[in-house]
Amino acid sequence: MKTNNVWQELYDQARGVQNGRDVSPFIYAGGVGAAIMTVDVHVYTGVSIDTACSLGMCAERNAIANMLTHGESKIARVVAVMPNGKPGSPCGACREYLMQLDEHSSEIEILLDIETMTTTTLGEIVPAWWGEERFLENN
């Protein structure tokens, strides 16, 4: 990243892909934009895809799919920009998906407010996660 304000740059990248639009009478894409930064400091973006048949995808999971496609799986930071332009916390499904990626996922930082640069960790919003033992079994 170019500046000292990584959160602002991630926010700007998430906002940059956000472009709410009708793709068809059944699909609306881009209402939410997300940017994730890996521990190797690569950034991947994605947008939400809402479908009439509920087979859509959240922006965070879309960005994760982009990251996995490029061979990475360890996330350091997540920013999701809601339709109102404010950062939002990942939904329950995205929180679970994030937790299952890596044994250190509880350390992933999430931007909650761009103006105050307020963040939280995934572990703080997913306490006492059910799957931690499985990571321990595989070590």
Write the pLDDT tens digit of every residue in 98-135: 999 999 999 999 999 999 999 999 999 999 999 999 98
Write the pLDDT tens digit of every residue in 57-114: 999 999 999 999 999 999 999 999 999 999 999 999 999 999 999 999 999 999 999 9
In the chain, the domains with their CATH numbers are: 6-137 (3.40.140.10)
Residue 137: pLDDT band (50, 70, 90) is: confident
pTM: 0.93
Cα separation, 49 vs 32, whole angstroms: 9
19 token code pair: 């472009």
Cα separation, 81 vs 11, whole angstroms: 7
Which residue from 98, 101, 110, 104 is spatially nearest to 11, judged by alpha carbons?
110
| Mean pLDDT calculated for residue range 7-13 | 98
Neighbours of 16 (CB within 10 A): 12
Which residue from 37, 32, 29 is spatially nearest to 8, judged by alpha carbons?
37
DSSP state of 1: -
- Residue 1 clears pLDDT 60, i.e. is over it: no
pLDDT score for 138:
79
Write the pLDDT tens digit of every residue in 19-39: 999 999 999 999 999 999 999
Q: What count of Cα atoms within 13 Å lies in the side-chain half-sphere of residue 75? A: 32
Neighbours of 115 (CB within 10 A): 7
Cα separation, 139 vs 134, whole angstroms: 9
pLDDT score for 59:
98
